[in-house]
Each structure stands twice: as C-alpha cells, then as structure tokens.
Amino acid sequence: MNDTSDTPPMSRRRLLIRQWGAILWPSFVAAGLASMVFFAFVDPLRLRDITFPQHAISREMGYTLGFFMFWAVTAAASGVTWYLLRPLRRDDDDVPLG
C-alpha cells in the first residue's frame, strides 16, 4: 500500500503481514458465511454423486473442500481489490534526481 523503498526490513515485514491479513481475514469470514448458506441447501454427498461419483468423498470432506474453495475465491477477490486500490506511482518518480 505504501512505498517501502525507504523503510527498514522489519517495517516491510510488518506491512506485508498487514496486507496479507487484510486479504485473508475478511475472505476467511466470507468463506465461512458462504459455506453456511451454500451447504444449508446443498448436501455434499448429493453434490459428489452428481459431479464425481467415482470418488469416495465423505460429507465432512465435502464441507472442507467447499470451504477452502470459497476461501480461495474470496481471497482472490480481496487480492484483486487490494491490487486495484494501491496508490499509483507518480510520473515524476521515474525521473532521476541531479
């Protein structure tokens, strides 16, 4: 989010942790909510029978895979939002001084 070229390494590390936290935490919560709503209407075993009947996937594994799928999608959406909201570089940043 900020220009990290002049900040010490520990500050860069903290900034990176904050950025990843800002992406992963909201997407975790959204994935939990999406899983609850989705699996309130869809049985994982029925979904398995429709999509991958040859695989022995338990109901718990279906819930787990569904949650991680939702988490990946919402994390990708949060990551794209973070990328689009980064400050733009100014045109005069490329001009060397002196």
For the chain, domain boundaries? 24-87
How far apart are the C-alpha atoms of 28 and 73, rounded to whole Å? 10
Q: For residue 89, what pLDDT band results from cuts at 50, 70 and 90?
A: confident
Measured CA angle at 41 (ends 35, 47), to 5 deg: 80
pLDDT, position 67: 97
Among 10, 13, 7, 27, which Cα is nearest to 82's?
27
pLDDT greater than 70 at residue 1: no
How far apart are the C-alpha atoms of 6 and 91, rounded to whole Å? 19
